[in-house]
Structure 1
């Protein structure tokens, strides 16, 4: 059994080292590391499910994590994660998954008596390949080749969410005591409150991830960073929104589960970010962006947010329909609060016919409808910015736009001043749908010109 454990660890790791020595591309190696982490977390989760489903179990041995031998775990993660990623140029994904299935169907029975297979262990094998190996391969291959930005961003969010909200707390409970009983024992109201607090804590991080992808063309993974310096969204208020949100979520989990170990993990995470990751990141960004980065960091702190946003470069423009009641009210509300780096213009002056409000950032990024107004809120202050980030959460924008259209009117073009804005009561059911070529926005500010932006 000892020999089997050593071979299960040594053979995959030696194969990864041998292939990695031939592939000197930094992006490939970084992607292989990410695939390894993804596969490792996924295999740990698969093991929990396998115990409940009776797919397979392990003989109790020293050096095990929740009943799974650590050496077997590491070797398995190396096989399902980095090795096929490093071989991606000669090993297409379907062939890689087929080979992994073949290796496991041969190796798993051969590891008896270390591994005890249940009658339906092949079902667990297929589930593992589809839910663990496949995502690890997609993420690794997409990151290595800088393809499919949206997909690799979503995969990274999923991996880091599972790492933060399940794996790290479970590891803390295993090492220092504690359990999920404090959370699972809550009634429905308590669970709802915890979920809302968790969403509030996660909102800046989710908005920051979206900002990296949409405005920067990159992801949160340090070796797959944005191609452009991102100083908008949460980054207009705070330099480390993702790290701060991660620490807040760990502390919330620690409070609910009453885990002192998890509190220490949160403190250690903050200390590592400030003392190790922070200086490395700053050095890299300083080298890549020079004076732009220095100017930004002189104004924006790591862990303590600004109240008003940092804005540099060309001001953004929010086009609103000043003859539409709801849009005019939005204009007045924003103008009274003197948004920073934002000009509000009447939609009728736009070069195109606007069917919904439109936001155009200084970098050319555009948003329409409720999302445009949410972007405008980011220019006011931190409180309104959080509202804007919440409105732009996945699904929230769609729902808010649906409600807005139902309460005001279907999308309609900005009208000349004095012509009534359509409402649900005066809009004809047979009104022609807006041309798709000019999808924009009917929102617009009140007749009086707003005060100049700060």
Structure 2
């Protein structure tokens, strides 16, 4: 077999075989297969959509992860490729897609018969057997097995957990975190890198910015990302779902950033790409950001509206008459009132109470902690949906009821690392946890 023929055969095998495995894994649970088996139950359409949606999500996670792994592998000399057409930064596209299919959707679709540890061991064995046989397409370095192990742990494992948890609707917060990592990697690394590779701009241009400019750019990107992060947290904490269309919130979310804007995540993502485009001097990436807005407005929005209208009906329609897609309100939309309980006998708490009232909070009752039926040791926030927050998180929730600027500060304070740090600093330097005095006195024997 000539080298050219060997390359062609290897490339076809890298894509055709994973596609065949995908088709085989997708058959169980399909309506067509159930129809061919008399007496077999017809799969529930919603469960089938969720299963296939989970497989698609795992493919995105695996594809982004494989691209990142390959970049590291070529830099460390784990492996490289023969020069071929249809390659992404040297990585043959058919090998990339086949690898992503095997590490993502194929085991996810077969999750009922293939447990995660078995799937990962099988994938590792398959890679160890296949990689040496892909010569001359793949040229292996002396430590290529280390790269395979790193890929299984850092790419295949997260892709499998994300897909399997999504398919089974389990472990909401960890899968939301994995979604965040996937979407961040895709939007802020894979898409910009592709734009720089086939258009203009570069990461080098970004890193070579003058010392004052680069830190400011990073801080600006961090600030722009806050509404998206807060919105994703709101989906998980109060909506019991995620932003992924096949894993949506089970409750209509109209709090947090959604009290001001209908599309906080899309707005943040578009602004992040634009800021990155300016820093990297990439008109191609700027066009991609504008195209993302156009896609969201023209294609994704009608489908999303139809889905939300079907699931939430009049409540969603009433909400959408009061908020816009891309331009936020200055004050939160009217909705049932929440309550924040603050200690009137605590100096810092009294100052917070006064400043909240000065800003005329909407949909918020500011009550004395001593009047709460329980003995409160920290500030308490209770939403109309039963959501609770304590300490600095309660104050952050109260800020959401005032004005867009203060609400933004509240969203920042609610992000997990910031929330933990803010609570520790408050306990140490401002006001340690203490019982509301009237209740504490009443509780004594």
**Please, what TM-score do these two structures have when normalized by structure 1?**
0.90
Task: Spell out, residue by residue over 1:139-172, the C-alpha distance to the aligned partner (whole angstroms, 9 max, x if none).
Answer: 0000000000011000000011111111110000
Deviation at 1:187, TM superposition (A): 4.7
Hey, what does 1:13 align to over in structure 2?
19
| 1:131-170 mapped onto 2 (5 Å cutoff) | 131-170=154-193
Deviation at 1:407, TM superposition (A): 2.2
Matched, 1:354 2:376: yes
Hey, what does 1:337 align to over in structure 2?
359
Hey, what does 1:100 align to over in structure 2?
123
Hey, what does 2:430 align to over in structure 1?
408
| 1:250-289 mapped onto 2 (5 Å cutoff) | 250-289=273-312
**Please, what TM-score do these two structures have when normalized by structure 2?**
0.92
Task: Spell out, residue by residue over 1:193-227, the C-alpha distance to the aligned partner (whole angstroms, 9 max, x if none).
Answer: 12211111000000000000000000111100000
Deviation at 1:412, TM superposition (A): 0.6
Asked if structure 1 preserves the Cα contact closer than 8 Å seen for 2:323 and 2:333, the reply is: yes
Hey, what does 2:85 align to over in structure 1?
62
| 1:13-412 mapped onto 2 (5 Å cutoff) | 13-24=19-30, 25-313=48-336, 315-412=337-434
Runs of at least 5 residues in structure 2 that lack an aligned partner in the other structure: 1-6, 31-47
Asked if structure 2 preserves the Cα contact closer than 8 Å seen for 1:23 and 1:86, the reply is: no
Give the 3-state SS of the residue equivalent to 1:413 in structure 2. coil
Asked if structure 1 preserves the Cα contact closer than 8 Å seen for 2:380 and 2:388, the reply is: yes
Counterparts of 1:34 and 1:23, CA distance in 2 = 18
Question: Larger RCO: Structure 1 or Structure 2 (Cα < 8 Å, ≥ 6 residues apart)?
Answer: 1
- Count of aligned positions: 419
Counterparts of 2:205 and 2:231, CA distance in 1 = 30
Counterparts of 2:310 and 2:246, CA distance in 1 = 15
Counterparts of 2:430 and 2:24, CA distance in 1 = 64
Give the 3-state SS of the residue equivalent to 1:343 in structure 2. strand
Deviation at 1:188, TM superposition (A): 4.6
Runs of at least 5 residues in structure 1 that lack an aligned partner in the other structure: 420-454
Hey, what does 2:39 align to over in structure 1?
none
Counterparts of 2:430 and 2:249, CA distance in 1 = 38
Counterparts of 1:309 and 1:409, CA distance in 2 = 29
Asked if structure 2 preserves the Cα contact closer than 8 Å seen for 1:149 and 1:218, the reply is: yes
Q: Cα RMSD between the aligned structures?
A: 1.5
Counterparts of 1:4 and 1:365, CA distance in 2 = 55
Counterparts of 2:158 and 2:178, CA distance in 1 = 7
Asked if structure 1 preserves the Cα contact closer than 8 Å seen for 2:25 and 2:107, the reply is: no
Asked if structure 2 preserves the Cα contact closer than 8 Å seen for 1:339 and 1:380, the reply is: yes
